[in-house]
């Protein structure tokens, strides 16, 4: 019989594989091209095939096991690790370069994509995005520019895909960037002198219908509630995506790992969470027990699944959705 520690390690290992596979899916050239076309001004008006052709080499993804007993193959591209003396190391989920046609020369961009499951991780997502952009700029010294040749600094993008955002936000996309503001007018507006970083936050809420093609596609792609075959069918029919090649296989593996993660979580966590919540409800009162139950299930389920699991229990069948939402967002 497996010990509790063994079960914990087993679930954590499979979850790490699933997270890594999500990154592999997002790093597919067709997916990145759709993201860039929607959010990066340099690619607006271009065809998807043209955007995909601008991506240099193969995107680099952080090296986490994607399959039992195997590691991701080494992929050509820029490293996902950034180490600056005195500042420590950070690891990007996905990082790559892209070159777009400019005025007589190609403009090179450095782009980072992050997948974020928790919209409230204890800090503001745009703030972390600014930090990542700052590191991608400072790390260019000695590679993209030397000495005082600051005009050679390449623009950087940090793109955050946030899943399970609250319904009040819905499916949304925001950009945070530098702009010139005249205090006393006079200086010319040379955008290329300061337009060096952009943080993009893409919010996904699969409970809300999205009129935007990108958020609609990402909701289908990353939803844990859609089976592999249905997912591939929707992506092919609604968004004209090719599922016969590598992307389809990566989606299959992601869905298989998602199902296994849920199965393990149910086996180990759900019953324990319900029992612990009920016990604490008896000992500490219904309100405290409900909060304990919600916090136990929160890392495993999105709000809708968590709500269904809570109200199925007779002790909490009378609790309103609003009350559970309040405890969920604490």
pLDDT tens per residue across span 85-136: 556 677 889 999 999 987 667 889 999 999 998 888 889 999 999 999 999 9
Q: Are 284 and 37 in contact (CB under 8 A)?
A: no
Q: Supply the DSSP symbol for 69.
A: T
Looking at the predicted structure, is the pLDDT value of residue 230 above 70? yes
**pLDDT in the model for residue 251:** 87
pLDDT above 90: percentage of residues in the chain:
39
CA distance 224 to 120: 20
The backbone torsions φ and ψ at residue 35, rounded to the nearest 5 degrees and listed phi first, read -65, -50
Classify the C-alpha dihedral 175-177-179-183 as positive or negative. Answer: positive
The backbone torsions φ and ψ at residue 293, rounded to the nearest 5 degrees and listed phi first, read -65, -45
Classify the C-alpha dihedral 2-224-256-249 as positive or negative. Answer: negative
Task: Decide which of 296 and 109 is more confident.
Answer: 109
Looking at the predicted structure, is the pLDDT value of residue 8 above 60? no
Mean pLDDT for the stretch of residues 138-142: 90
Q: What is the 3-state secondary structure (H, E, C) of 125-176?
A: HHHHHHHHHHHHHHCCECCCECCCCHHHCCEEEEEEEECCCCCCCCCEEEEE
**pLDDT in the model for residue 13:** 65
Task: Decide which of 242 and 260 is more confident.
Answer: 242
Count of H-run helices and E-run strands, the chain = 11, 8
**pLDDT in the model for residue 67:** 34
Mean pLDDT for the stretch of residues 317-321: 86
Mean pLDDT for the stretch of residues 205-231: 88
| pLDDT tier, 37 (very low <50, low <70, confident <90, very high otherwise) | very high
289, HSE (Cβ side, Cα atoms, 13 Å): 18
* Residue at token pair 């091209």: 33
Mean pLDDT for the stretch of residues 153-178: 93
CA distance 130 to 197: 8
**pLDDT in the model for residue 296:** 77
Task: Decide which of 80 and 35 is more confident.
Answer: 35
Most confident range (mean pLDDT) of 126-130, 142-146, 279-283 is 126-130
**pLDDT in the model for residue 76:** 37
What confidence tens digit (pLDDT) does each residue in 183-202 have?
999 999 999 999 999 999 99
* Residue at token pair 């623009």: 155
CA 206 to chain centre: 14
Q: Are 132 and 90 in contact (CB under 8 A)?
A: yes
For residue 41 the two structure tokens come to 């001004």
For residue 278 the two structure tokens come to 């009920």
Looking at the predicted structure, is the pLDDT value of residue 69 above 50? no
Q: What mean pLDDT is reported for the chain? A: 81
**pLDDT in the model for residue 310:** 85
Classify the C-alpha dihedral 226-232-233-239 as positive or negative. Answer: positive
3-state secondary structure of 321: helix
Q: Among the residues of 266-319, which ranges form H helices?
A: 271-284, 286-297, 303-311
Length of the chain counted residue by residue: 330
**pLDDT in the model for residue 261:** 57
């Amino acid at each position: 019989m497996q010990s509790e520690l063994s079960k914990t390690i087993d679930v954590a290992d499979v979850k790490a594989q699933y997270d890594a596979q999500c990154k592999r899916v997002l790093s597919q050239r067709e997916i990145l091209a759709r993201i860039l076309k929607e959010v990066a001004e340099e690619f607006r008006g271009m065809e998807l095939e043209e955007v995909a052709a601008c991506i240099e080499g193969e995107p680099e993804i952080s090296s986490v096991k994607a399959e039992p007993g195997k590691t991701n193959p080494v992929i050509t591209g820029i490293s996902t690790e950034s180490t600056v003396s005195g500042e420590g190391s950070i690891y990007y989920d996905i990082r790559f370069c892209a070159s777009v046609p400019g005025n007589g020369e190609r403009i090179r961009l450095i782009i980072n994509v992050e997948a974020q499951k928790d919209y409230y991780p204890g800090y503001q997502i745009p703030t972390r995005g600014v930090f990542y952009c700052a590191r991608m700029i400072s790390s260019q010294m000695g590679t993209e520019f030397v000495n005082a040749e600051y005009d050679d600094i390449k623009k950087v993008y940090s793109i955050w895909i946030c899943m399970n955002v609250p319904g009040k936000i819905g499916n949304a996309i925001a950009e945070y960037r530098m702009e010139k503001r005249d205090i006393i007018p006079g200086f010319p507006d040379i955008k290329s002198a300061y337009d060096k970083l952009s943080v993009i936050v893409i919010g996904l809420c699969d409970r809300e219908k999205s009129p935007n093609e990108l958020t609609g596609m990402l909701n289908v792609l990353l939803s844990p509630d859609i089976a592999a075959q249905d997912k591939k069918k929707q992506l092919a029919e609604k968004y004209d995506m090719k599922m016969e090649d590598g992307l389809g296989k990566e989606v299959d593996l992601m869905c298989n790992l998602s199902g296994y993660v849920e199965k393990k979580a149910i086996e180990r966590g759900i019953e324990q969470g319900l029992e612990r919540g009920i016990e604490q409800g008896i000992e500490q009162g219904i309100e405290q027990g409900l909060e304990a139950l919600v916090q136990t299930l929160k890392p495993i389920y999105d709000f809708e699944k968590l709500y269904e699991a809570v109200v199925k229990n007779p002790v909490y069948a009378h609790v309103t959705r609003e009350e559970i939402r309040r405890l969920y967002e604490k």
